[in-house]
Structure 1
Amino acid sequence: DASTTWAEIDTGGDSNDISNGDTITIIGTKHDGTEVQATYTITDKTTDTVQGLLDAIETAFGDEVTASVTSNGKIQVTDNTTGDSLLSLTLVANNEGGGSLDFGEVEVTTRGYSMEVSAGTDALLRIDGTLLQRSTNTVDDAIPGITLNLKRAETGTTVTLTISRDLEGIREEIQDFVEKYNDVITFINEQFTYDEDEEEGGVLMGSGTLLSVQSRLRSIISSTITGLEEGMNALTFIGISSDRNGLLSIDIDDLNDALEDDPEAVWKIFGASYTRTTTDLQYIYHSTDTQAGTYTVTITQVASQATVTGTVDLSGGIAGDETITVTELGTSKQAVVSLSAGQTIGDIVNALNSEFSEQEMRIRAENSGGYLKLIHLDYGSSYGFTVSQSANYTGITDGTYQGVDVAGTIGGEAAEGDGQYLTGSAGAVEGLVIKYTGTATGDVGSLTLTFGVAEQLYRALDAITDPYEGLIKVRTDGLQNRIEDIEEQIDAMEERLEKEREVLTRQFIAMENALAQLRTLSSWLSQQIAANFR
């Protein structure tokens, strides 16, 4: 029950290896999903009881839960708020003294959340006659691609698992892809068709741009995919072929065989896939600027968390009254904790973590061999905290503490670090985001990107339809520029014609004036001649 001391708990083999100073980390989410984190310290295992842990749990959750011990020796945490709940709880025994205290996995019950107080034991299960032993109730290495979540044990009970892929759903998606592709090719083909009876061709007949688009799409469909294994690196190997008009058809039997034999290989033919030489490298994202290929990752600086450890051993208690103010960088959230002389390192850690949880700060306090340690849970220079103390009995220097961003290159190209994330910023790796979780520097491994047919088509169509730099945009701009040039030529010709008209008009007027003068002269001459002959 709750009055059980920690010294009375059997941690295995009818013995107890719990040590004074051992801590238990309380992690979870409240009813509304708000994150909770706190630490409980076993100061004296002969006098400290499980009730102290229960109290710490309730405090960490802001008294929004009730923690108790059931009649069968389990901790039960019940949400005090009715309705749908996001309540969750994990207790982690840190075993600083080298012990084996283990609370096991959290189990959802109709009464709330419960777990055994007694020492956890390994899970035992038999799969196809093979006995497996695991230290966790989540087993992800027994059946490739399948994760088993063990909820409870019932001796003598056999559970039959029937695992199958939704091949029909995959086949329908592939058929839909083929139909959509054929719609596009059919439209393009219609533009190049000439109707002899109507003596009329398609609107875009003779368009070099459309011919280029058609050629690019058909090339992607018919080409082999670099980076995939021979024999499963083209659409033809899964029953998809193209006729003389560029239209695709599916051999259902061949497609079904491929899906049955190696569905992952089929997926790689269509999508973007990757391989890595080390688990320290994780692929996160790539952009349309990223190119397929193999890239060596070189790390010059490993990412770190903001952290600081005091220089005063607080195992025997803090020397005097102290007020610690911790402010989180970026969020400006602040935790102010008042400590009294004599409080042990466990009390201090519990008080700080309780306040961090209350303020929803991503900072944790730890007992580092009797010394106070503060650490931010996230990596990188964007995360950190400042510490200010009234007397400094902890040995932590007042100031600002920030994490460090990872630094390095991808495939020899420049990359920008943000926490543990490295983003390519130039060349073939532009837009490629990877996560490095290792601790080594130098050439730490390589990552290979392979782009299947669907990925290549997406990138090609993006290059064609991009509203700013796409092929259609460039061609449209070119046509518009040509129209404007022709309009300018027309305007210039009209201006020349107007000037020519003005010249001709002036000449005509001059001619009319000359004719008028000649008529006047002719009339005068006629009068003079007539007068002389009288």
Structure 2
Amino acid sequence: MIGSDIVNSLGGGSGINSGSLVEELVSLQNAPEAQRLDTRQEKLESQISDYGLLRSALSNLDAAVSAVSSSDTFDAKSVAIPDTSLIALTKLDSSAAAGNYRIKIEEVAQAQSLSSGSYASKDAVIGKGEITLQFGGWNAALDTFTVDPEKTGATITIDDTNNTLSGLRDAINEADIGVQATVIADGSGYKLLVTSPSGATNELQIAVAEDAGSPGLADFSFDETTQNLTQEQEGVDAQIRVNGLLVSRDSNRITDVVEGLEFDIFNKSATEEINIGISADRSIAETAIRDFVEAYNTFLEETKKLTDFDEETGEYGNLKNDALADNLIDQVRNYLGNSVSGLSDGFTQLSNLGIRTERDGSLDIVENPNEPNTNFRAAIDKNFDLVRDLFVPTTESDNSKVKINGYSGRTQAGSYEVVISQDPTQGVFTGDPLGFPVDTTGKDYSFTVAIDGVETASISLPDGVTYNTGEELAAEFQALINLDESLQAANVTVNVAINGSGALEFTSEAYGSDSKVVFGPVGGDFGDLGIAAGSGVTGKDVVGTVNGEQAFGYGNILLPAINTKADGLSMTITPGASNATVNFSRGFAGGLVSLIDTFTRSNGLIKEHVTELNDSLDEIDDDRSELERRTEAYRARLQSQFIAMEQIVSSLNNTGSFLDGILDRLPFTAKK
């Protein structure tokens, strides 16, 4: 101890344990401040912990609210189907229309398959060049092929890197257009088997342009002039009768015959009918609402422990009188008693369907049939659509040409007037009228075209083909252009048709000022088709207002001005829409989800407040460092004072020793 050292160094001193006394004085000096900091730190840490519990309670409530905010909850369906080997259900969506459906399978879909000649090995050399695969349909005689312009094929290059039987197989598979190629050993050699997707219009035409110096690739041709492959089986559509109506599909996976119901078909039957019953399943929504009420009551109970007197612990919660926690709970409780914005009739608040607030703030479901106007059971059984509209966000437009695509957290519930002053249009190039038939033999019908600013490689109509109608030529143009790799990579497509004047018309699938069709260099005979290099008519962006304020238009999408009440709405405008009234409501659940999100999101109010609490904890660390600095200064001052005291005492002790017996030594008082 420093105090003991003082005494030892001075050889005596006062006899006081100065070291112990210094520490006691320092402790007495620091105790109030240290206790204040300890108390403050404990409270802050408890508040941070309790905000974690509050966030958890909100998250549990949010999960229950999210369930009743989903349209799928209220549109849930159940299905009844007998045992059968003909079909298997794969999906029942909430959009399925309730009803009974008699299904009869008259034909299953089949894929076309083509086989090559025999080769000695999988690595046999096959020549070089380009192979173009197109989808469409062959006639029974296999001498006329009709291109399906809505389906995209591929052009494959065969060079030194893949000019073998297995290399061609891999190149076809890697084109990823749904065509399957395999090399099969049939006992006499190896053959390439090419299988298209199933369906009558998914059959293949395979055109080959082989290199003159490396022949052999033409052995895989299968077009209207050369068929060196053998058709093993033709493509066939599935034929299904639904309540007597015959429909055709190119696949055995049926996804759009009965809306919201998907199934696979396996076999056909001339006699068996499958009866499928689809009905609304309201029990899903009822359970979700009951779960929400229970979740809210649990939330209320848990938050009371954090902010009110807890009878279990006999103490007040750490968030008592915390402004943010009180505000959060008040906002949630008040929301439950308010009417839902954007709903003007029907059920507009929870009390309308028999959910009432008790004196303690909890919710109670009224099941009493003697209260017909506020009975939950009656609301579910008799007014289910109104219950749905109360909970689920809704968007409505009184004009089918103004479609609401979505909304954001900024969008406020309400009714908005939309006025269109300029329709969206597509870029289009229109040629001159031409006559038919069109024979490409010996003609240079090559061209390049840019769609929406994306330019194709050079494209040519196939040589030696005769197009007897405008529809045939338009389909060929559309298929060839949409085959281009640059267009496919940019997800750009064009529609080609013959207009009423007998001219080719090329229309971009996109809308707006970026939508355009521009023909670049064209072959010497291309003018015969009524087309010359140049630009067509550029498309226009939609122009309009929402509630009288200028909106932003891009293509056929209209967005309300930023920082307006409608901000966040997204609308698709179809040409011909002059005006519309659109309505938006978040619904009870959607609004509560949005409210909870303002507190719980990553940059929400709880996160901000907890950050402030952590900053206060950091300040306590700084205060402790400052206290320690002051403590050391105080300790040093006391030690200095005690050293001075000991020095004085030591000096006095020496003086006392000197004076001791001085009378015996003085001349007149000395003892004789």
TM range (shorter): 0.5 to 0.7
Q: Once the 2 structures are TM-superposed, how far is the Cα of residue 387 of structure 1 from its aligned partner?
A: 2.5
Distance of 1:510 and 1:247 partners within structure 2: 72
Does the alignment pair 1:476 with 2:610? Answer: yes
For the residue of structure 2 that corresponds to 1:434, the secondary structure is strand
Q: Distance in 2 between matches of 1:437 and 1:273?
A: 21
* Partner-residue secondary structure (3-state), 2:280: coil
For the residues of structure 1 that align with 2:200 and 2:596, how far apart are their CA atoms?
45
Find the counterpart in structure 1 of residue 600 from structure 2.
465
- Structure 2 CA distance for partners of 1:402 and 1:512, relative to 1, 3 Å: farther
Change (3 A) 1:494 1:148: closer
State the alpha-carbon separation in 2 of the partners of residues 400 and 521 from structure 1: 120
Please tell me whether the aligned partners of residues 337 and 351 of structure 1 are also in contact (alpha carbons under 8 angstroms): no
1:315 maps to what in 2? 435
* Higher RCO by CA contacts (8 Å cutoff, separation 6 or greater): 2
Residue matched to 2:640? 506
Per-residue Cα deviation, 1:16-43 (whole angstroms, up to 9, x for no partner): xxxxxxxxxxxxx9979xxx99899xxx
CA 53–527 in structure 1, closer or farther in 2 if over 3 Å, else same? farther
1:345 touches 1:370 (CA, 8 Å); kept in 2? no
CA distance in 2, matches of 1:457, 1:329: 43
> CA contact under 8 A between 2:148 and 2:475: conserved in structure 1?
no
1:447 partner amino acid: V
2:547 maps to 411
1:46-99 deviation digits (Å, cap 9, x = unpaired): xxx9989962147986899xxxxxxxxxxxxxx998999675869xxxxxxxxx
**CA-CA distance at 1:114 after TM superposition:** 6.7
Counterparts of 1:404 and 1:53, CA distance in 2 = 44
* Corresponding residue of 1:128: none
C-alpha change, 1:294 and 1:80, in structure 2 (3 Å) is closer
Match of 1:371 in 2: 503
CA distance in 1, matches of 2:469, 2:195: 39
Distance in 1 (CA, whole Å) between partners of 2:384 and 2:409 is 26
5 Å-filtered alignment, 1:113-192, equals 113=238, 164-192=279-307
Contact 1:345 1:372 in 2 (8 A): no
Contact 2:135-2:147 at 8 Å conserved across structures: no
Larger gyration radius, structure 1 or structure 2: 2
Equivalent runs, 1:36-75 vs 2, <5 Å: 55-57=145-147
Q: How big is the shift at 1:164?
A: 4.9
1:60 to 1:269, Cα distance in 2 relative to 1, 3 A: closer
Q: Which residue of 2 aligns with 1:280?
A: 401
Report the alpha carbon displacement of residue 171 of structure 1 after superposing the two structures with TM: 1.8
Residue in structure 2 matched with residue 219 of structure 1 by the alignment? 334
User: CA 1:148–1:205 in 2, change beyond 3 Å: closer, same or farther?
Assistant: closer
Identity percentage of aligned residues: 22
Tell me if the contact between 1:293 and 1:450 (Cα under 8 Å) persists in the aligned partners: yes
Q: Which amino acid aligns with 1:255?
A: F
Partner Cα distance (1:302, 1:211) in 2: 51
Q: Tell me by how many angstroms 1:445 deviates.
A: 2.2
Q: Deviations over 1:405-453 (max 9, x none)?
A: 3344433556443432223433322322111113356xx2221112221
- C-alpha separation in 2, matches of 1:529 and 1:403: 128
**Helix, strand or coil at the partner of 2:433:** coil
Which runs of 5 or more residues in structure 1 are unaligned?
1-28, 41-48, 65-78, 91-109, 116-123, 126-133, 138-145, 150-158
Matched, 1:353 2:478: yes
Q: CA deviation at 1:324?
A: 1.5
Give the Å deviation of 1:327. 4.2
Q: Pick which of 286-295 and 253-262 moved more.
A: 253-262
Unaligned runs of 5+ in 2: 1-108, 113-133, 155-177, 181-193, 203-234, 249-257, 262-273, 370-374
Listed one character per residue, the Cα deviations across residues 366-385 of structure 1 (whole Å, up to 9, x for unaligned) are 22222222111232356555
Q: Which amino acid aligns with 1:508?
A: F
Task: Confirm or deny that 1:258 pairs with 2:385.
Answer: no
Distance in structure 1 (CA, Å) of the matches to 2:135 and 2:404: 29
Instruction: Tell me the distance in 2 between the aligned counterparts of 1:445 and 1:381.
Output: 24
Shift of 1:482: 2.5
Query: Superposition pairs for residues 21-100 of structure 1, below 5 Å?
Result: 55-57=145-147, 87=199
Task: Say if 1:39 and 1:353, in contact at 8 Å, map to a contact too.
Answer: no
The one-letter amino acid paired with 2:406 is Y
Equivalents in 1 of 2:533, 2:463: separation in Å?
A: 19
In the aligned structure 2, how far is the partner of 1:406 from the partner of 1:414?
A: 11
Aligned counterparts of 2:344 and 2:414: Cα–Cα separation in 1: 15
What amino acid is aligned across from residue 430 of structure 1 in structure 2? Answer: D
Equivalents in 2 of 1:52, 1:313: separation in Å? 31
Please say which of residues 281-290 and 506-515 is displaced more in the overlay.
506-515
Number of aligned residues: 426
Distance in 2 between residues matched to 1:338 and 1:248, nearest whole Å: 73
Contact preservation (8 Å) 2:427, 2:517: yes
1:428 is paired with a residue of what secondary structure? coil
Q: SS of the residue aligned with 2:617?
A: helix
- CA distance in 2: counterparts of 1:292 and 1:528, whole angstroms: 107
Asked whether the equivalents of residues 306 and 320 of structure 2 are also in contact (C-alpha less than 8 Å), the reply is yes
Measure the CA separation in 2 of the matches of 1:31 and 1:175. 51
Are residues 230 and 295 of structure 1, via their aligned partners in 2, closer, same or farther at CA, if it must alter by over 3 Å? closer
In structure 2, what is the equivalent of residue 234 of structure 1?
349
Q: Note the C-alpha offset of 1:364.
A: 1.6
On the 8 A contact 2:494/2:509 being kept in 1, the answer is yes
Determine the C-alpha separation between the residues in 2 that align with 1:31 and 1:530: 139
2:564 paired with 1:433: no
Distance of 2:453 and 2:301 partners within structure 1: 55
Q: 1:234 to 1:84 in 2, by over 3 A?
A: farther
Alpha-carbon separation, structure 1, partners of 2:195 and 2:348: 52
Contact kept, 8 Å, 2:200 with 2:236, in 1: the verdict is: no
Residue of structure 2 equivalent to 1:105 = none
Q: CA deviation at 1:485?
A: 2.9
Aligned to 2:626: 492
